[in-house]
């Protein structure tokens, strides 16, 4: 039976991860050779990455993607996802192994929703993501404070400290 390395550094080396612009570390390990037409462009049907948050890089900053993404918890500590839905609701879900306390092994984030992640426990938390249609940096955008204040006034001031802590500095 295979086990994950004990240290984040060993896991980063074993999976050949690199720093991610959102925070944490990643590596794309699959891009479909099959394509689909999305709008007026041809796109890979799916792509997959490993994504790792560590004690030294514990936050994946608030961002949005055009594609739907399925997140799969892989190991380490629990990760909390903060989502801003298309209808303006704030949702939080924890990915991790403790199903008895409500943690989940998978999370679907529809395209267009804002999402951020935070390491809750342990030295690292590892997930995989499947993106459909495949990820393209042109479909990705980081949130900024003014935009979130403008688009989600119902969340202020109650949720502002949380949201502010998840914005890219």
What are the structural domains of the chain? 8-165 (2.60.120.10)
Average pLDDT over residues 20-42: 94
Residue 38 is predicted with a pLDDT of 83
Q: Place 1 in a pLDDT band, splitting at 50, 70 and 90.
A: low
Is residue 62 predicted with pLDDT exceeding 60?
yes
The 59-65 sheet, strands edge to edge: 90-95, 79-84, 114-119, 59-65, 140-142
Rounded to 5 degrees, what angle do the CA atoms 160, 130, 19 make?
A: 65
Instruction: Give pLDDT, residue 52.
Output: 98
What is the pLDDT of the chain when averaged over all its residues?
Answer: 95
pLDDT confidence tier of residue 2, bands split at 50, 70 and 90: low
Q: Is 45 helix (H, G, I), strand (E, B) or coil?
A: coil
Q: Strand, coil or helix: what is 132?
A: strand
Percent of the chain with pLDDT over 70: 99
pTM: 0.95
pLDDT digits (tens, 9 = 90+) for 70-101: 999 999 999 999 999 999 999 999 999 999 99
Tens digit of each residue's pLDDT (9 = 90 or more) over 112-156: 999 999 999 999 999 999 999 999 988 999 999 999 999 999 999
pLDDT of residue 66: 93
Helical ranges in the chain per DSSP H: 8-15, 145-151, 160-165
Q: Has residue 165 got a pLDDT over 80? A: yes
When pLDDT is cut at 50, 70 and 90, the band that residue 61 belongs to is very high
């Amino acid at each position: 039976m295979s086990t994950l390395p004990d240290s984040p550094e060993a896991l980063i080396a074993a999976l050949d991860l690199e720093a991610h612009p959102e925070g944490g570390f990643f590596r794309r390990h699959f891009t479909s050779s099959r394509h689909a037409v999305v709008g007026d462009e041809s796109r890979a049907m799916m792509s997959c990455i490993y994504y790792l948050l560590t004690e030294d890089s514990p936050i994946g900053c608030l961002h949005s993607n055009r594609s739907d993404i399925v997140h799969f918890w892989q190991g380490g500590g629990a990760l909390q996802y903060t989502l801003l839905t298309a209808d303006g609701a704030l949702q939080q879900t924890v990915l991790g192994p403790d199903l008895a306390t409500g943690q989940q092994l998978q999370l679907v984030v529809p395209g267009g929703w804002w999402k951020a992640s935070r390491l809750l426990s342990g030295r690292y938390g590892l997930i995989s993501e499947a993106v459909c249609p495949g990820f393209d940096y042109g479909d990705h955008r980081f949130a900024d404070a003014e935009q979130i204040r403008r688009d989600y006034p119902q969340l202020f001031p109650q949720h502002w400290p949380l949201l502010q802590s998840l914005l890219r500095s």
